[in-house]
Amino acid sequence: MELKNSWLSYTAEQKEELEKINAQYRVFLDNGKTERECAAFAAEAAAKAGYKNLDEVIEKKQALKAGDKVYCVYMGKTVALFNIGSDAIENGLNILGAHIDSPRMDVKQNPLYESDELAYLDTHYYGGIKKYQWVTLPLAIHGVIVKTDGTVVNVTIGEDESDPVFCVTDLLIHLAAEQMEKKGAKVVEGENLDVLFGSMPLEGEEKDAVKKGILRLLKEKYDIEERDFESAELEVVPAGKSREAGLDRSMILAYGQDDRVCAYTSLQAFLDTETVKRTSVCLLVDKEEIGSVGATGMQSHFFENALAEVMNAMGEYSELALRRCLANSKMLSSDVSAGFDPLYASQFDKKNAAFFGKGIVFNKYTGARGKSGSNDANAEYFAKVRSIMEGSNVAYQTAELGKVDAGGGGTIAYIMSLYGMNVVDCGMAVLSMHAPWEVTSKSDVYEGYKAYKAFILD
């Protein structure tokens, strides 16, 4: 079964739209390197597009009706947008879902130490990473430090051209004979992912003078004490902006495209859709990379609660109506697919792999080994989704995550399927997934955007 490369099918007008979507996508990537930043970006874009804040709707006891649009942000890290349709809400929702957290290194709660007149920040990696990929790169720090009086200090260091950057050092090759014999998982160990943070001793200090110099700078710049790290969420990410990749500029190289490529295209398709028949929802969630846990992960009830509030404001809420609405819903649960990499062809089943330039990728199931942990979409539902894609000329392909027994992975699909709704996994193909810099195809980004738009309008 041969699928045509999408690039060959575009008109000049489509190419222009493709470039526009990708340029906007890069703005999202450059402004959203953490879940908090992505959530804030989405909320701001929603407000600009005329969405009301659900908290305000609740507080002012406002009524909602068909044609209204609302959004809510939960703990600053998870977002839900609703576009209320003309159909009865009990008939179900069209839901787009993607995650906005990405693999990275989190600063520990007691991170700052000095060793041999160098200051370090100790980190704990987040999500699945090849640790050896995160050394010697310019790194930035994004996040918040919350003081005991409730003040939230926002931190972004390393993105502005004039900012300093950080790095994790690695052993020079001349002394690495022993290191180079180690297995990949042990070449760089988790406890060694400490960020080099300073080297200038504070004058007049005898002990830990470099650390003291750092603490003085932190006090001057952010008015924080060492213990304030205890209530901080500081994320260490690759420094720098997204770039076009390839001489033909057909790809994008950027940090955090898993899963922001799906999050952005879902959000943009959602915001670009004026009115809908079925009430539509766009969910951008946190904590997928560590199992969708916590209050801001998909396993939390925040979405169910928000939906209950929306139905209540519509005068449609009852426990039964809520359950019917959820069970009658259909969802595209979007997360990236491992793009087929000719350099590592042996790890893929080429007939069931995701290729650049072949459109959005559908995974009927994910999981590991014997589909363990998978949602495994219903054939009837996937046929329906195919017909939506074909009806809107969206390029799509189907794939599995690598060869059977090569590994595996999960998404948020199985959690939403607990409501009894139809869910299928989909997303764009990514090369070097979970590496500091990941690659996507611009044409797939465009097809994803088209796919989400078609799905909401169905």
Residues that bind Zn ion (CB under 5 A): 258-259, 335
Nearer to Zn ion, 128 or 138 (CB): 128
The residue nearest Zn ion at its CB is 259
Least distance (Å) between residue 287 CB and Zn ion: 11
Beta carbons of 134 and 126 less than 8 angstroms apart: no
Least distance (Å) between residue 257 CB and Zn ion: 9
DSSP secondary-structure letter at 385? H
Sequential DSSP letters for 247-283: TT--EEEETTHHHHHHHHHHHHHHHT----SS-EEEE
Least distance (Å) between residue 427 CB and Zn ion: 8
Beta carbons of 21 and 268 less than 8 angstroms apart: yes
Nearer to Zn ion, 120 or 255 (CB): 255
Phi-psi label, residue 333: left if phi above 0, alpha if psi -120 to 50, beta otherwise: beta
Nearer to Zn ion, 112 or 451 (CB): 451
Least distance (Å) between residue 342 CB and Zn ion: 23
Nearer to Zn ion, 325 or 433 (CB): 433
Least distance (Å) between residue 393 CB and Zn ion: 27
Amino acid letter, 178? E
Nearer to Zn ion, 166 or 340 (CB): 340
Least distance (Å) between residue 423 CB and Zn ion: 15
Nearer to Zn ion, 263 or 385 (CB): 263
* 126 phi/psi in degrees, rounded to 5: -120, 125
Query: Could you tell me how far CA 426 lies from the centroid of its own chain?
Result: 14
Sequential DSSP letters for 337-351: EEBP-GGGGGGS-GG
Nearer to Zn ion, 144 or 368 (CB): 368
Nearer to Zn ion, 37 or 259 (CB): 259
Least distance (Å) between residue 103 CB and Zn ion: 9
Least distance (Å) between residue 245 CB and Zn ion: 20
* 220 phi/psi in degrees, rounded to 5: -65, -45
Q: Which helix (H) or strand (E) segment is 309 a member of? A: helix 302-313
Is cis: bond before 259, omega within 30 of 0? yes
Nearer to Zn ion, 111 or 408 (CB): 408
Q: Give how far Cα 447 sits from Cα of 232, 338, 426, 428, 457, Å.
A: 38, 17, 12, 9, 15
Decide: helix, strand or coil at residue 14: helix
Distance CA 260, CA 255 (A): 9
Q: Give how far Cα 166 sits from Cα of 121, 135, 143, 411, Å.
A: 10, 10, 15, 32
Beta carbons of 284 and 266 less than 8 angstroms apart: yes
Least distance (Å) between residue 101 CB and Zn ion: 8
Residue 154 pairs with which residues in a beta bridge?
144
